[in-house]
Amino acid sequence: MGFFEDLAARIDSRDTMVCVGLDPDPDRLPDGVRDAALPRWQFNRRIIDATHEYAAAYKPNAAFYEGADGWRALAETIAYAHGKDVPVILDAKRGDIGNTARQYAKALDRADAITVNPYMGRDSLQPFLSREEKGIFALCRTSNPGGKDFQNLELASYDEYLYEHVARRMAEWDEYGNVGLVVGATRPAELERVRELAPDLPFLVPGVGAQGGDAEAAVEHGRTADGVGVVNSTRGIIFAGEDREDWDRAAGAAAKRLRDRLNEYR
């Protein structure tokens, strides 16, 4: 099966849309893991143990794994998540041309899906699009306030906004059924608009949690008709118990709360 079939099966079997972001910020790691050989891996292992029951997917951000020890921690994290039967989306926002893109696409040898930046055009995405069994999530309308600086520019020649054009094009390029979109929950009207433009593409919806996005809109518009789509929370889960000794249990409780909150709207 391809990535989105696997993701659909996970969503159905665990009755969850929650994607847990795994961004082990070294400055916020608990004392109990700071002295470990691979602190980021030890932190992630305990987070996964506490949250996997509620997770449809995990999403490690590549920025938090720079350096030799970081890449080792990421490899261990992906393997451990797979051991719990949870798919992994690598948040790397890759996008380049030629041999560089082909090298970036090798990240999919380990991860199940990856986030990509579409703004260099189709040739920059082809090495990712061609991996039929893997998923890609293209940045479309991001959750950060500055997303409007470019994504909401109106294209006179197409009579639509740039983010709308991205949604249309990514739907056109979905030759193998392996394309999704990153669309933030902090702009619910635009989330709804992207769903209108790309009805068959699953969404990865950030912004519910620390950014205060609209959970109801995330559920209503983040899923395809078949119910495929995930809602990501990172800091709101993994650092939910930042000042507690049982920080991993707090993370598990936060993941459960988000699952239950989202399921109210499913």
- For the annotated catalytic residues, the residue numbers are 93
CA atoms within 13 A on the CB side of 101: 20
Q: Which of 92, 31, 38, 84 is nearest to 60 (CA)?
A: 92
- Cβ atoms of 89 and 114 closer than 8 Å: yes
Q: Which of 173, 175, 178, 152 is nearest to 164 (CA)?
A: 152
What is d(CA 57, CA 155) in angstroms, rounded to the nearest whole number? 35
What is d(CA 15, CA 222) in angstroms, rounded to the nearest whole number? 15
> In a 3-state reduction of DSSP, which class is residue 182?
strand
Neighbours of 75 (CB within 10 A): 13
Token pair belonging to 19: 């994607």
Q: Which of 39, 71, 51, 101 is nearest to 232 (CA)?
A: 51
DSSP 61: B
